[in-house]
Structure 1
Amino acid sequence: MDLKQLRAFVTVAETGNVTRASTLLNLVQPAVSRQLRLLEEDMGTEFFDRSRHGMQLTASGKTMLEYARRILDEVARAKAEIQPVEGPVSGIVSIGLLASTSDVLATLLAGEVAKRYPHIRLRLTIGYAGHLQDWLQAGDVDAALLYGQKETSALHVKPLLEESLWAVAAPSAMLSRKRPLTLARVARELFILPAAPQGLRAVIEHAATEAGVTLQVFAETNALSVQKELVAQGHGWTILPAVGVTQEVARRTLSAAPLISPALKRTIVLAAPASRQATAPVRCVVEVLLDCVKSTFESGRWPDARWLG
């Protein structure tokens, strides 16, 4: 197995076609096919179902694709780390953002990285905290925003800010920042929540238990956009950080109010693997990410939060 075989395999897997892959790799088709065949022979299995409709990954191929991408990314990071100091910082950096923060951070971060480090290729991965932590520990992302995560032997953690969770409903509910609601009042409504065991769901259920109330769950989804759309259409209420609905409240497609008795809060942290030394590109992008989080907070676009960083 060598890097040429892995690059050929990943390119064919992503394009689904040897012809398109050969163009991207600047190789003739027989050469690409040979690299695939050598890799399959070395691993003792076929990675593609070959047909006139294209190249479809087998179950073994899908597993191999994850490892191949990871190997190629690690090689790219190694090259970036050992490049001459006087050269421009370059390489691939993968950053994980919480779904609730992506609206205010993703575009800002991408723009700032492009401006400060134009030779860095940024990969943004959006998800819930549980998924991001798994991807972080697996090496699929270099650093991520999580919440409530403590320092462990596997993760370095830096607390950034504490934010409040709000009740969110359709505009017809006329929720307002000026009129906080108790969890007991909110519990009268039907709810659309993230599916267990997501961290936000755990925070909400713990608070409900402490308050002695039971939430009536109408639907569960792990897609934040679906969650907000169902609420906007009046199918139920939800509980989200204020930053996650700022734009919708401003457009009046949702309404929201702070929660009291109890007030629900969560801590946003920056997490990175303790087992892997950050490369120069990763350090640069993390610095930009910290600047973006702080500037968003200071400008008031991260409402009902307290800076910790």
Structure 2
Amino acid sequence: MNLKQMEAFYWLTQLKSHQRVADHLGLTQPAVSARISGLEESLGVQLVDRGQPGFALTEQGYEVAEYAETFLNLAETLRSRLHVKRKRRFSIGLVGMVTMTWGIALRAKIAAQPGGAMVDVHSAPNVEIRQKLRSGALDMAFVTGEAGLSQVQSSFSVLYRVGWVARPDVIGGAGRVMTPRQLRELPLIFYPHSSPLFGPVADMVEETRRRPNARHTASSLGMICEMVRAGYGASALPLAAVEREIANGMLVEIPTTVQLAPLDVRCVHLNKARKSQSEEVFAMAHQAAREWCVAHPRYMTFKEG
């Protein structure tokens, strides 16, 4: 058994056609068939039920299919980490709220160091950062506590206050305290279902009930902020992302009778194979986050440990 055979079998389970697998991998159809046959021979079982009119797996085929993706992910992780070492680049994953706040200070600190130009920042939601971590594409990652990943020991965290915000013309002025029922009467901008804020926000405004106004969706914090600025509707945001707009009156924070829990962002991964560089960048992240929170205390709180 080898990885090329497992790769061909994995794609066969996804594409369900030897020819489509051949096109995807840049092989001939006989080459794909040979790899599948070789895998069956090495395992001593039949994986594809060739007695069926269409594509079908045998019982053993389904069992092997459960492991095929794991094999390929492990191989990709190894290749990615070796490639990162070869090219000497260091990659940091940041959720959007970090990218828009203390990540700015972190990038400046890194850029001021010798070799700082060789550090890449990947800004993405929790779910995408998890995928990049599994593939070994990231050396460090900062995500919210809802990402389902264990934090790095001796870490720090930043609490982001979450509140409702809109343009004054969307809500008919500022200062009025709103109940969840009154909020759901407004045009609202939602996060995708994979976001840690989707569930709490949807529950708060009882989104499963009849929707009395427009409901918009965006896939990133940056785009949701842009839609709020453009007047599409109101949204629940980490308020630090729009602190400047709230200060100058372009947007207003909506006081509510029910408060949303803050979002807790922390480091969940450090590349142990690049220990020295990881520790150096982490120290700069610690300093950047602390300094930013001191300078912007209204919507952010720095916590040790």
Give TM-score scaled by structure 1 length: 0.62
- Which of 255, 258, 262 does residue 261 from structure 1 map onto? 258
Residue aligning to 1:71: 79
Q: Would you say 1:285 and 2:281 are equivalent positions?
A: yes
1:22-41 equivalences under 5 Å are none
Aligned partners of 2:200 and 2:260 also within 8 Å: no
Aligned partners of 2:95 and 2:124 also within 8 Å: yes
Residue aligning to 2:111: 114
Aligned partners of 2:144 and 2:263 also within 8 Å: yes
Q: CA 1:303–1:279 in structure 2 vs 1: closer, same or farther (change >3 Å)?
A: same
Aligned partners of 1:166 and 1:257 also within 8 Å: yes
Same amino acid, percent of matched pairs = 14
- Which of 291, 296, 308 does residue 303 from structure 2 map onto? 308
1:63-142 equivalences under 5 Å are 71=79, 74-77=82-85, 91-118=88-115, 121-142=118-139
**Residue 181 (structure 1) shift:** 4.3
Aligned partners of 1:165 and 1:259 also within 8 Å: no
Note the alpha carbon deviations across 1:237-293, whole angstroms, 9 max, x for none: 11101111113323443222354423432211211068x544321221121112111
Q: Secondary structure at the match of 2:161?
A: strand
Q: CA 1:69–1:264 in structure 2 vs 1: closer, same or farther (change >3 Å)?
A: closer
**Residue 127 (structure 1) shift:** 1.5
Give TM-score scaled by structure 2 length: 0.63
Q: Secondary structure at the match of 2:250?
A: coil
How far apart, CA to CA, are the structure 2 residues paired with 1:307 and 1:237? 27
- Which of 183, 188, 192 does residue 185 from structure 2 map onto? 188
Q: Would you say 1:204 and 2:212 are equivalent positions?
A: no
Structure ID, larger Rg: 2
| More strand, by proportion | 1
- Which of 234, 238, 261 does residue 237 from structure 1 map onto? 234
Q: Secondary structure at the match of 2:138?
A: coil
Amino acid of the structure 1 residue aligned with 2:229: A
Residue aligning to 1:299: 295
Residue aligning to 2:224: 227
Gaps of 5+ in 1: 1-42, 47-63, 80-90
Q: CA 1:214–1:292 in structure 2 vs 1: closer, same or farther (change >3 Å)?
A: farther
Q: CA 1:76–1:265 in structure 2 vs 1: closer, same or farther (change >3 Å)?
A: closer
How far apart, CA to CA, are the structure 1 residues paired with 2:123 and 2:233? 24
How many residues align? The count is 232
Residue aligning to 1:36: none
Note the alpha carbon deviations across 1:82-104, whole angstroms, 9 max, x for none: xxxxxxxxx32211122123222
Amino acid of the structure 1 residue aligned with 2:110: V
Gaps of 5+ in 2: 1-24, 29-71
Residue aligning to 2:9: none
Q: CA 1:110–1:175 in structure 2 vs 1: closer, same or farther (change >3 Å)?
A: farther
Aligned partners of 2:289 and 2:302 also within 8 Å: no
- The alignment yields a C-alpha RMSD, in angstroms, of 3.6
